[in-house]
Amino acid sequence: MIHSTHVERDDSANKSLPDLLLDPGELTTLGLDLPLDDYTLLDPSFPKAQMQKRTLGNSGLKVSALGYGAMGLSSAYGPAADRKDAIAILRAAVERGVTLFDTAEAYGPFTNEELLGEALAPFREQVVIATKFGFGINPDGTRYGLDSRPEHIRQVTDAALGRLRIESIDILYQHRVDPNVPIEDVAGTVKELIQQGKVRHFGLSEASAKTIRRAHAVQPLTAVQSEYSLWTRDPERNDVLATCEALGIGFVPFSPLGAGFLTGKIDTTTKFDAKDFRNISPRFTADARTANAALVGLLKRVAEEKRATPAQIALAWLLAQKPWIVPIPGTTKLHRLEENLGAVNVTLTPDDLREIEEAAAKIPVKGERLPEAVLALTNG
């Protein structure tokens, strides 16, 4: 039997924001969000989220057990959210104990960092802000591939500091590994930025285990970021999770809800905005959605036992894998934010995890997780 439990509350980043928290109202529907009348309300007896803290590997950097991925506020899932609404949801996350916020210069581009800079400025001492370099982006927003040349990293860092309105970036990730620049040069450049006080911690995104080891030897990594969820198990199979554990590196799964599919609110009839990347994702074709519905069915069965939601079970499963894993789901809706954060109240016992594992092993996931051109940039 699956049980729910209360956890010790951490209120250090959860003070009231009566003068600063904007009224979210009906936030712009974007990405994995759906209208409220499409949403199965939580059981009213289910406890509200009581945020926990986790430490990213051996770094000593403590963050909320669930972070917030801000990409969808500006790009990838359709039109950007209204600025007032976006600021409201970011501040609502702070009020509810979220301390890790993830952005990148590539989101927008540039506008996502500016958004976080404005929204989080009043709470700088309470939050950990992570951003990324690695794509070649001209000032006008046009792109030219990957670019992790040391001089470019320095330029991007200075620009990000200005957009984010901060003096030091808490975690600076290489967004994608640049095959034209040795990772030792990248790590050495970030090491210099840390020594200069412009950066506090170093991270990699979608890197291979070999690259992680090489980078870590030059400048210790605090976090590695990759897609990871019940329907994307690559980090278990390509030695990335094992490498992080061996080296004492935290792991930050992005898209922990499978770009919304694991919420149980997407089926073959769901229509996406014309600019939504899922229109070209192999895992979101009609055939793939039909085949992959079995995994959602598993989540729904477990959720029913726990009086929770499929999204909460998907996030609780990730949290149960390792104590140094910190997922970063994103949303533009207050009720979705609260639903996601409720996952910290869900405890999956060893028996629960074994049952989920055995059932999931019988469900083949259909379709690559990303379009071919995007997938080619991963595992560098």
pLDDT at position 119, please? 98
Token representation of residue 345? 């109240």
- pLDDT digits over 94-110, tens only? 999 999 999 999 999 99
pLDDT at position 48, please? 56
pLDDT at position 248, please? 98
Section 177-182 average pLDDT: 98
> Is pTM, for the whole model, over 0.75?
yes
Give residue 234's pLDDT band: very low, low, confident or very high (50, 70, 90): very high
pLDDT at position 50, please? 82
- pLDDT digits over 110-140, tens only? 999 999 999 999 999 999 999 999 999 999 9
Token representation of residue 368? 């690559």
- pLDDT digits over 364-378, tens only? 999 999 989 999 999
Helices (H) and strands (E) in the chain, counts: 12, 11
Section 178-194 average pLDDT: 98
Ordered by where they begin, the domains of the chain are 40-375 (3.20.20.100)
Angle, helices 350-360/286-306, rounded to nearest 10 degrees: 160
111, 47 Cβ separation under 8 angstroms: no
pLDDT at position 49, please? 63
Sequence-ordered list of residues with C-beta below 8 angstroms from that of 151, at least 6 positions apart, any chain: none
pLDDT at position 380, please? 84
Q: Is 107 a catalytic residue?
A: yes
Token representation of residue 339? 């639903």
Choosing from 39, 68, 77, 107, the catalytic residue is 107
